[in-house]
A and B are shown apart, each in its own frame.
Chain A
Amino acid sequence: MLLFRDEEHVDRWCEARDLERGVTITPEQTWRLAHGWYKDKVKPDWRRHTVDETEELLSSIGLTGAFWNLRG
Chain B
Amino acid sequence: MSEQQADIDVLARDVRIHVFREAAATARVPQAPEISRALGRSEPDVRAALHRLAEGKVLILAPNDGNIWAANPFCAVPSGFRVETAQKRYWGICIWDALGIAAALDSNAVITATCGDCGDRMTLEIRDRRLVRNEGVVHFAIPAHHWWDNIGFT
- Contacts of A7 on B, CB cut-off 8 Å? 137
What is the size, in residues, of chain B's interface with A at 8 Å between Cβ atoms? Answer: 49
Tell me which of A10, A25, A37, A69 contacts B145 (CB under 8 A).
A69
Q: Report whether A58 and B138 are in contact in the complex, using a CB–CB cutoff of 8 Å.
A: no
Q: Report whether A41 and B136 are in contact in the complex, using a CB–CB cutoff of 8 Å.
A: no
B152 to chain A, nearest CB (A): 12
What is the size, in residues, of chain A's interface with B at 8 Å between Cβ atoms? Answer: 43
Q: Report whether A34 and B99 are in contact in the complex, using a CB–CB cutoff of 8 Å.
A: yes
Residue of A nearest to B73 (CB): A38
Which one of B27-35, B37-45, B121-129 contacts A?
B121-129
Tell me which of B58, B102, B116 contacts A9 (CB under 8 A).
B116
What CA separation (Å) do A9 and B138 show in the bound complex? 11
- Contacts of B72 on A, CB cut-off 8 Å? 38, 41
Within 8 Å of chain A (Cβ to Cβ): is B57?
A: yes
- Contacts of A37 on B, CB cut-off 8 Å? 96, 100, 103
What CA separation (Å) do A42 and B141 show in the bound complex? 27
Measured CB to CB, the residues of A under 8 A from B are 1-7, 9-10, 12-14, 16, 19, 22-31, 33-35, 37-39, 41-42, 44, 46, 48, 58, 66-72
23 contacts between A and B (CB under 8 A): A1-B139, A2-B138, A2-B139, A3-B124, A4-B115, A4-B117, A4-B136, A5-B120, A9-B118, A25-B138, A26-B134, A26-B137, A28-B134, A33-B99, A37-B96, A37-B100, A37-B103, A39-B104, A41-B104, A42-B23, A44-B17, A48-B58, A67-B144
Measured CB to CB, the residues of B under 8 A from A are 16-17, 20-21, 23-24, 56-58, 72-73, 94-106, 113-118, 120, 122, 124, 126, 129, 131, 134-145, 154
